[in-house]
Structure 1
């Protein structure tokens, strides 16, 4: 059906990362034993990592998100391509501030598998 279709526009994952539309956290993900490249979508990054002025906490928050994502992925059936999980943004507050995120495994620019962490509305 689309064999002879002309590509009008394409936007690669590499372009999205270069332009700041996706936040590449692959290096931190490798430390959390991810084997695939990992990036956060803008809403996930803003709401899970960069939601206040405490930039010193970003590294710890990225690690917490990746750890929760890894646990959610680990518990999925082998055929699943996405897992939902929650993190607590409360940081020691008595009242939890839960945020729901999704880890989605899909193809990258050349068809290789990658993981994108996003908010449910972004899916």
Structure 2
């Protein structure tokens, strides 16, 4: 008979769920229509750090980099598409996150595209359902 973690350590004091992370802004939900268009079947979210580095593009960024044709939707599409292709080409049964890189213009950096390293992983959602999270490699 296998001993559960609850048997060993008791009931958790607090659980920070995916829903909590979305509400707190630690995770940023991707609109389902866009993620499905990019090929994803399950809900996708980016960590706030990954979103800030690779997707966020506001008025200040536009003033800093005029004429580059950037938009948050377009930048998000690039991340979703490259992540999907990375997963499709990964070795079957690979453990952990699948690393990939995406070229992007940093909102507060130079006006040239540089490579940002990211990772995509599939894990259980709050009810055990599969969910996708895109993050920076050093994030958990």
- Give the TM-score normalised by the residue count of structure 2: 0.77
2:39 aligned residue? 33
Per mean C-alpha deviation after superposition, the further-off stretch among 99-108 and 25-34 is 25-34
Structure number with bigger Rg: 2
1:75 aligned residue? 89
Q: Is the counterpart of residue 97 in structure 1 residue 114 in structure 2? A: yes
Q: Is the counterpart of residue 16 in structure 1 residue 33 in structure 2? A: no
- Give the TM-score normalised by the residue count of structure 1: 0.87
1:108 aligned residue? 125
Deviation at 1:39, TM superposition (A): 0.2
How big is each residue's C-alpha offset from its partner over 1:51-83, in whole Å with a ceiling of 9 and x where there is no partner?
Answer: 663476100000000000001000112212421
Deviation at 1:105, TM superposition (A): 0.9
Tell me if the contact between 2:57 and 2:72 (Cα under 8 Å) persists in the aligned partners.
no
Q: What residue ranges of structure 2 are gaps of 5+ in the alignment?
A: 63-69
Q: What residue ranges of structure 1 are gaps of 5+ in the alignment?
A: none
Deviation at 1:3, TM superposition (A): 3.5
2:54 aligned residue? 48
Q: Is the counterpart of residue 65 in structure 1 residue 66 in structure 2? A: no
Tell me if the contact between 1:22 and 1:42 (Cα under 8 Å) persists in the aligned partners.
yes
How many pairs align? 122
Candidates 96, 99, 102, aligned match of 1:84 = 99
